[in-house]
């Protein structure tokens, strides 16, 4: 069992318990009464190169990334520096995230937010709407096409955009066949955890101009951002590089050349 399989097994167990505490019908009812969220892709396209800045405490590969870790302060720094959106990790056991962090960030900033989670059930889609997300992450490597299609439909019902994450050419083909309009190419090899920017550059020729393309992981400086921008990528999702800098605002401006 690889790390993704282990995380998914634990996540399904976690969500089963949460559904007992708050059934899907109740969560959906709450979600339907929540305000319509701001457009996620629209915000990314408001500038030549969009930034989804991530709020993440730790990861299985990197350990603790930032200490002290205050989600609201981090998000405010991102917003002041001109980020177009914020991603917040929802998984607690492996990434040190969770609902409390999402709520804290939602109260602190007005930016569109990505519910970055290992989504395995419709309950999580409506949970994202309740919390004030604009978009949810779906991972092609984690879900069969039939499940992806169903979750994408439910996200549309919830007025949420889907960032469909792919890791290779086969997953990209699946995402395009499913009609995804917002696709993230993760530059991290799930088996070795190695990150290579070339992964996005090698795959993006298959992506039509109508798709908003995001490059994720392994973006370490303004040269990487400029290279991706020149190639036609719509935006980048960056966490670790920014979170390791003492001055987040300066780090964002330097990274994005603003």
Q: Which residues are catalytic?
A: 54, 56, 116, 165, 186, 216-217
Instruction: Record the tokens describing residue 10, joined without a space.
Output: 């634990």
Q: Three-class SS of residue 81?
A: helix
Nearest CA among 10, 16, 84, 74 for reference residue 46: 84
Q: In whole angstroms, what is the distance from residue 17 CA to residue 234 CA? A: 38
What residues does 238 pair with on adjacent strands?
53
Q: In whole angstroms, what is the distance from residue 149 CA to residue 167 CA? A: 18
Asked if omega into 68 is within 30° of 0 (cis), the reply is yes
Q: In whole angstroms, what is the distance from residue 120 CA to residue 117 CA? A: 9
Instruction: Say what the alpha-carbon torsion angle 116, 236, 103, 23 is, to the nearest 10 degrees.
Output: -30
Q: In whole angstroms, what is the distance from residue 159 CA to residue 88 CA? A: 19
- Contact yes or no for 82/253 (Cβ under 8 A): yes
H/E stretch holding 75:
helix 71-81
Q: In whole angstroms, what is the distance from residue 16 CA to residue 226 CA? A: 43
């Amino acid at each position: 069992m690889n790390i993704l399989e282990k995380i998914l097994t634990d996540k399904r167990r976690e969500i089963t318990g949460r559904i007992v505490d708050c059934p899907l019908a109740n969560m959906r009812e709450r979600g339907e009464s929540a305000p319509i969220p701001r457009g996620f892709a629209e915000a990314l396209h408001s500038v030549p190169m969009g930034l989804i800045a991530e709020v993440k405490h730790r990861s299985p590969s990197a350990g603790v990334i930032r200490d002290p870790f205050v989600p609201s302060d981090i998000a405010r720094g991102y917003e002041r520096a001109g980020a177009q959106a914020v991603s917040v990790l929802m998984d607690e056991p492996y990434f040190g995230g969770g609902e409390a962090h999402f709520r804290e960030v939602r109260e602190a900033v007005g930016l569109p937010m990505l519910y970055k989670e290992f989504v395995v059930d419709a309950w999580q889609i409506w949970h994202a709407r309740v919390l004030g997300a604009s978009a949810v992450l779906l991972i092609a490597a984690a879900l069969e096409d039939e499940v992806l299609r169903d979750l994408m439909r439910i996200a549309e019902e919830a007025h949420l955009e889907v960032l469909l994450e792919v890791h290779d050419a086969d997953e990209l083909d699946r995402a395009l066949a499913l009609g995804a309009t917002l696709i993230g190419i993760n530059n991290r090899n799930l088996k070795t955890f190695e990150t290579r920017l070339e992964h996005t550059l090698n795959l993006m020729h298959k992506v039509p101009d109508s798709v908003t393309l995001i490059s994720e992981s392994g973006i370490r400086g303004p040269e990487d951002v400029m290279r991706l921008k020149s190639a036609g990528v719509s935006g980048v999702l960056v966490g670790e590089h920014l979170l390791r800098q003492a001055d987040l605002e300066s780090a964002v401006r330097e990274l994005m050349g603003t």
